[in-house]
């Protein structure tokens, strides 16, 4: 008892000293930035007073000296602003650190040493003043990996200088909130599991949380992997894939202190904008600036400009709800994003200068300049140069010829005539490929094509003539564009993180390989959560071949930390791939199936369930429907009875309170309670629908129930 008291006194004193040190450094940094702010204001004033020149005159030949003078005053301002922003980041980190300086401690004795050193681990590091002695180690530091990977006894970690071996005599975890030590415990595996169970049993917030306190050994290995150019993770629902991806991004930036990797060198490709918002706070909480985050259709829109593009959510809604066209929609995207169609496109792209560009003799002001044969010959040569680049060079060649002969600059009217064959309309070219059926089938003669190819061609022509460019055609057009013009964007990206990997097709990964040719990849997926197609473990072999990286690895996460035992057992019946899913052994209520004969009585039952969940203190209660159409119908029925939000394709509302959401938008998210509200046999009856039920049911942390009008789905 006396020993326990002395330990508590030590820990309280240690916490007090740590917070005092952080407060001292915070005060210093705030004073430093007050000086910076004053210096910036003073420098701006000096700039205004000493540079009287107008901006419009700076770029003339007479304005060169004025421009140099302006630069002389502007550069110090820029430097001071950069310094100010760096200090502001330090201030933000220190303010967070004061609230909770660390969450763990290991006592580690280095090999050859006599004494154990107390290593405290937090979200960010804290160094003692005027020394290199660490008061708190960042969770991403090499020595911190010992906490995640070893129990007491012999241990090691890999540092830049090589492998460091030693012994762990103590593992301790802390709960510190608002600078107050609430409790601590000395951790063995059993206690850590109990601590994690306690954290998982707490009601969810509207944002994804960091998991630094509870990272498991297999998760830590993936997060810290620096060996592989391609790191793939197949993880069951609730295994922490997304958290691992974001913690890995934060870890890579920490390592980037030595490899010059920063936030603008990493891109996270998210399944939708709602998911982007959900994950938005994780990396900043881990002590880093937010990385670049995009959804795939935004990347398509950046390539194919001036056309509105169907989002993936809109595509899925169309696929799920279109009864007559469903097989055509499904077969269309499967074929257009296949390896076979890519090869057909490659033949078509090769043919463009031979068959689809109408070269003309060039005249200017009545004088012959150059023949169409010479122009065509210049384009057909140099196979290694992208066609778009060659056409740009050809344009420059014509303009230079005219200048040499006429000694005048080309006028705009003549420039437009040249652009008729040096600028390509990608959509028009694609339409020509599909309209000329004899030509199309000639290109496709050596490849397997769908039986309903004629239906796909008609369906595609209708789509291309509409105001909305469909998701599958946008993918094809992006590929054609990249093959013709090459890649200029994303040159600075060194690390790419792709979530929901199973929902991308062959051609998507080819586009990723073109856009991020020199990047490393972290790719995470779950084959049981595939939408719109069938998928199995061979997808990871396919990804490995397409991206063609020197070193790659596939990790499998088979333990779910999200759901209770009962929810996980119930959800497993919908998993189509034979894969063992291990539970974290957290108990809860059995899911129930509730049917009513009328919509009004079903709505009453749903209202009763919502009230129960609110009384339990659940912060996020999701009413999941199969489609947006069903979601809108339910919203209309309930909106006058309860404060409820509806999630649509462009929603960015926080996931707090009661809301209605289509199942395909719920991917990657988690909620305290889930009500599947349209679980009848009409909505859920096919093999594809089993995947939807698996996704919907595995969103629930604590409570899951299913509701339907009439006959319940035979899949339940």
Last residue of a domain, one of 557, 587, 612: 557
Looking at the fold, whether 660 and 569 belong to one and the same domain comes out as yes
Listed residue (124, 232, 148) closest to 525, CA to CA = 232
User: Residue 240, annotated ligand binder?
Assistant: yes
Q: What contacts 116, CB < 8 A, 6 or more positions away?
A: 107, 108, 109, 167, 169, 170
Residue 290 pLDDT class (50, 70, 90 cuts): low
User: Residue 238, annotated ligand binder?
Assistant: yes
C-alpha distances out from residue 321 to 328, 329, 693, 694, Å: 13, 11, 16, 19
Which position has the higher pLDDT, 436 or 651? 436
Looking at the fold, whether 94 and 108 belong to one and the same domain comes out as no
Last residue of a domain, one of 76, 99, 122: 99
pLDDT at 203: 57
- Region 640-645: mean pLDDT is 91
Looking at the fold, whether 496 and 645 belong to one and the same domain comes out as no
pLDDT tens column, 565-599:
899 889 988 887 666 777 767 788 899 999 999 99
pLDDT score of 340 more than 70: yes
Looking at the fold, whether 29 and 92 belong to one and the same domain comes out as yes
Looking at the fold, whether 449 and 531 belong to one and the same domain comes out as yes
Looking at the fold, whether 85 and 125 belong to one and the same domain comes out as no
- 368 within a domain of the structure (yes/no): no
- Region 297-320: mean pLDDT is 88
Looking at the fold, whether 550 and 591 belong to one and the same domain comes out as no
- 364 within a domain of the structure (yes/no): no
pLDDT at 650: 67
- 690 within a domain of the structure (yes/no): yes
Residue 342 pLDDT class (50, 70, 90 cuts): very high
- 647 within a domain of the structure (yes/no): yes
pLDDT at 636: 93
Looking at the fold, whether 125 and 263 belong to one and the same domain comes out as no
Q: Which of 500-504, 558-562, 661-665 shows the lowest per-residue confidence on average (mean pLDDT)?
A: 558-562
Distance CA(475)–CA(463), nearest Å, equals 13
pLDDT at 54: 47
- Region 465-486: mean pLDDT is 92
Name the DSSP class of 590.
Answer: P
- Region 414-427: mean pLDDT is 76
Distance CA(647)–CA(654), nearest Å, equals 10
pLDDT score of 669 more than 90: no
- Region 150-175: mean pLDDT is 91
Counting residues of the chain whose pLDDT is more than 70, the rounded percentage is 86
- 56 within a domain of the structure (yes/no): yes
pLDDT at 433: 93
Which position has the higher pLDDT, 97 or 1? 97
User: Residue 241, annotated ligand binder?
Assistant: yes
User: Residue 519, annotated ligand binder?
Assistant: no
Which residue range is the domain that position 443 belongs to?
227-357+424-557
Identify whether the C-beta of residue 163 lies closer than 8 Å to the C-beta of residue 132: no
- Region 615-629: mean pLDDT is 93
Q: What contacts 522, CB < 8 A, 6 or more positions away?
A: 231, 232, 233, 245, 248, 249, 495, 496, 497, 498
Distance CA(203)–CA(205), nearest Å, equals 7
Q: Is 367 exposed, middle or buried (0-12, 13-18, 19+ CB in 10 A)?
A: exposed
Looking at the fold, whether 435 and 540 belong to one and the same domain comes out as yes
- 206 within a domain of the structure (yes/no): no
pLDDT at 577: 66
- Region 14-36: mean pLDDT is 91
User: Residue 177, annotated ligand binder?
Assistant: no
- 487 within a domain of the structure (yes/no): yes
Looking at the fold, whether 296 and 147 belong to one and the same domain comes out as no
- 249 within a domain of the structure (yes/no): yes
Counting residues of the chain whose pLDDT is more than 90, the rounded percentage is 42
List beta partners, residue 671: 700
Last residue of a domain, one of 510, 529, 557: 557
Looking at the fold, whether 10 and 116 belong to one and the same domain comes out as no
pLDDT at 55: 47
pLDDT tens column, 43-87:
777 666 665 544 444 444 455 455 455 555 556 677 777 777 788
Looking at the fold, whether 285 and 351 belong to one and the same domain comes out as yes
Q: What contacts 505, CB < 8 A, 6 or more positions away?
A: 333, 334, 337, 338, 475, 533
Distance CA(117)–CA(516), nearest Å, equals 44
**Number of domains composing the chain:** 4
pLDDT tens column, 238-279:
888 888 888 888 888 888 655 566 667 888 888 877 777 777
Identify whether the C-beta of residue 47 lies closer than 8 Å to the C-beta of residue 73: yes
């Amino acid at each position: 008892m006396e020993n326990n008291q002395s330990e508590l006194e030590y820990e309280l004193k240690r916490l007090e000293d740590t917070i005092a040190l952080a407060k001292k450094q915070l005060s210093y940094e705030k004073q430093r930035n007050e000086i910076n702010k004053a210096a910036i204001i003073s420098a701006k004033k000096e700039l205004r007073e000493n540079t009287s020149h107008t901006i419009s005159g700076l770029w003339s030949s007479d304005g060169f000296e004025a421009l140099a003078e302006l630069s002389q005053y502007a550069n110090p301002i820029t430097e001071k602003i950069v310094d100010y922003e760096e200090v502001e980041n330090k201030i933000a980190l220190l303010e967070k650190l004061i609230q909770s300086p660390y969450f763990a401690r290991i006592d580690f004795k280095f090999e050859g040493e006599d004494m154990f050193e107390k290593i405290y681990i937090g979200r960010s590091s804290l160094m003692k003043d005027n020394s290199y002695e660490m008061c708190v180690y960042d969770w991403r530091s090499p020595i911190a990996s010992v906490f995640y990977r070893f129990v007491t006894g012999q241990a090691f970690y890999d540092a830049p200088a090589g492998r460091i071996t030693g012994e762990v005599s103590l593992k301790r975890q802390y709960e510190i909130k608002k600078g107050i030590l609430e409790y601590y415990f000395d951790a063995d595996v059993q206690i850590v599991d109990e601590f994690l169970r306690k954290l998982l049993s707490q009601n969810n917030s509207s944002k994804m949380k960091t998991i630094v306190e509870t990272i498991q050994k297999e998760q830590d290995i993936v997060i810290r992997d620096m060996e592989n150019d391609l790191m793939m993770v197949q993880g069951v629902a609730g295994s922490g894939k997304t958290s691992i991806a974001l913690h890995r991004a934060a870890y890579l930036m920490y390592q980037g202190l030595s490899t010059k990797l920063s936030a603008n060198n990493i891109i996270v490709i998210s399944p939708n904008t709602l998911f982007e918002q959900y994950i938005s706070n994780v990396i900043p909480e881990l002590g880093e600036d937010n990385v670049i985050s995009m959804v795939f259709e935004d990347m398509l829109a950046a390539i194919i400009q001036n056309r509105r593009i169907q989002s993936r959510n809109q595509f899925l809604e169309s696929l799920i709800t279109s009864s007559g066209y469903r097989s055509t929609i499904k077969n269309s995207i499967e074929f257009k994003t296949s390896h076979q169609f890519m090869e057909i496109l490659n033949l078509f792209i090769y043919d463009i200068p031979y068959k689809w560009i109408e070269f003309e003799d060039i005249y200017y002001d009545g004088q012959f300049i150059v023949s169409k044969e010479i122009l065509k010959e210049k384009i057909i040569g140099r196979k290694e140069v992208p066609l778009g680049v060659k056409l740009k060079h050809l344009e420059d060649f014509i303009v230079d010829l005219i200048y040499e002969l006429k000694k005048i600059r080309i006028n705009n009217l003549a420039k437009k005539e040249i652009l008729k064959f040096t600028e390509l309309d990608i959509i028009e070219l694609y339409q020509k490929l599909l309209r000329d059926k004899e030509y199309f089938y000639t290109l496709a003669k050596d490849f397997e094509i769908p039986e309903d190819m004629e239906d796909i061609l008609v369906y595609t022509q209708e789509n291309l003539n509409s105001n909305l460019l469909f998701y599958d055609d946008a993918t094809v057009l992006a590929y054609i564009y990249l093959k013709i013009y090459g890649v200029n964007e994303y040159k600075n990206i060194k690390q790419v993180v792709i979530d929901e990997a199973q929902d991308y097709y062959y051609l998507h990964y080819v586009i990723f390989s073109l856009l991020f040719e020199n990047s490393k990849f972290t790719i995470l997926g779950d084959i049981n959560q595939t939408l719109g197609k069938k998928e199995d473990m061979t997808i990871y072999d396919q990804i490995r071949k397409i991206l063609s990286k020197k070193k790659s690895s596939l990790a499998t996460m088979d333990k779910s930390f999200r759901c209770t035992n009962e929810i996980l057992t119930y959800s497993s019946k919908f998993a189509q791939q034979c894969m063992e899913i291990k539970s974290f052994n957290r108990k809860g209520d059995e899911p129930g199936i509730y049917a009513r004969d009328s919509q009004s009585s079903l709505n009453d039952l749903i209202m009763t369930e919502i009230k129960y969940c609110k009384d339990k203190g659940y912060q996020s209660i999701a009413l999941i429907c199969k489609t947006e159409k069903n979601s809108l119908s339910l919203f209309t029925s309930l909106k006058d009875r309860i404060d409820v939000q509806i999630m649509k394709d462009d929603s960015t509302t926080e996931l707090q309170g009661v809301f209605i959401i289509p199942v395909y938008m719920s991917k990657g998210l988690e909620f305290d309670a889930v009500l599947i509200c349209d679980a009848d046999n009409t909505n859920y009856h096919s093999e594809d629908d089993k995947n939807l039920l698996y996704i919907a049911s595995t969103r629930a942390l604590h409570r899951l129930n299913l509701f339907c009008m009439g006959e319940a789905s035979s899949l339940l």
